[in-house]
Structure 1
């Protein structure tokens, strides 16, 4: 008479048991003899949540353990004697581009940019427009009656400078920074034609000179070296 078989057990338990028996039979070769492993030397498998965080081999953060120094004689800076250190003057800049620009003179708060239409030059750096007379600030105009000489040839450079300024304006509008009552008297003001600085154009082309306290000194030097405008031959 056949008996009912007990319900089958899961296969996982026998497999784990066999692996444990196999691990217990492993031998360790020590001093020419095969010895069973020391149970104390086998670290138990820890759960992932109990695993310790990784530590850098160069710095142990365990309490009571100082940081380990690696190659201190190579990495650490050599000792210096303060008495042997001498401060030297900084080298000059490689070019003038490295120099800080001079601070700009602040303009009064009530001055506003004003469009002046159909300007007419009365001299090389002075014009009239919409009942106002404006001199380009930072420049010295050339008197219309001035006569220049070059290579023993005299020519009316003042009239030529005024004509060059008028030809450049061509009846267009200038944008100038003016006070509210600029129509009552002549005033020196910075102006621009589009994005071009008027004073820079006049001085760099030799049709005006730079004021001693202005910002166009280098432009005048370049115009002199190049023989531009009044610094060159008759035009």
Structure 2
């Protein structure tokens, strides 16, 4: 670095540049710079958390991709058929069609009622399910939704299907049991 006097008695500082672009070599001669090449160094850590990359965004119902299934026909309390697909709602276990439930000493046919509740709720609607064409003609467990409503969450939270262990709906089933909804409550 070179220091030069500036008007007022204060030094003016110039930095030498490691690499110069030659603009007019016949008129202006660049300074001789020897041994000052580029050197790669490790990246410094970010100054704050704001500089870190954000974790991946979880998939929300608005981000789902899948197939819209028209004219679904309910086959059990947690499955349906539509457009050549047989869909088992992921994370749920159906109530057996011939299952009987007991509420305060009164037996009732909760399996049939669970299928009927799902049929009435799904009737005339077209769910969006995460299935792909190779899955045709074989039963497939798929996450489905109607608008922003998750089919599995609706079935389990209303007591019309059981939560499959590890399927993500265990808390919803506990709430349905406590509130005595669906198969955990009285007959309608």
Q: Distance in 2 between matches of 1:171 and 1:134?
A: 17
1:224 aligns with 2:177: yes
Residue 199 of structure 1: aligned partner: 152
- TM-score, length of structure 1 as denominator length: 0.52
Question: How far has the Cα of 1:184 moved from its partner?
Answer: 2.5
Q: Distance in 2 between matches of 1:191 and 1:215?
A: 14
Residue 103 of structure 2 contacts residue 186 of structure 2 at CA under 8 Å; is this kept in 1?
yes
User: What CA RMSD, in Å, does the superposition of the two structures yield over aligned residues?
Assistant: 2.3
1:127 aligns with 2:72: no
Cα-to-partner distance string for 1:79-132 (whole Å, 9 max, x where unaligned): xxxxxxxxxxxxxxxxxxxxxxxx9x99xxxx9500000111111000011121
Residue 146 of structure 1 contacts residue 156 of structure 1 at CA under 8 Å; is this kept in 2?
yes
- TM-score, length of structure 2 as denominator length: 0.65
Unaligned runs of 5+ in 2: 1-7, 9-55
Q: Distance in 2 between matches of 1:171 and 1:158?
A: 22
Q: Report the structure, 1 or 2, having the larger helix content.
A: 1
Residue 27 of structure 1: aligned partner: none
Task: Tell me which of 112, 126, 150 is aligned to 1:173.
Answer: 126
Select the structure of larger CA radius of gyration: 1
Structure 1 stretches (4+) deviating beyond 2 angstroms?
Answer: none
Task: Answer 1 or 2: higher relative contact order, Cα 8 Å, separation at least 6.
Answer: 2
Q: Report the structure, 1 or 2, having the larger strand content.
A: 2
Q: Secondary structure at the match of 1:145?
A: coil
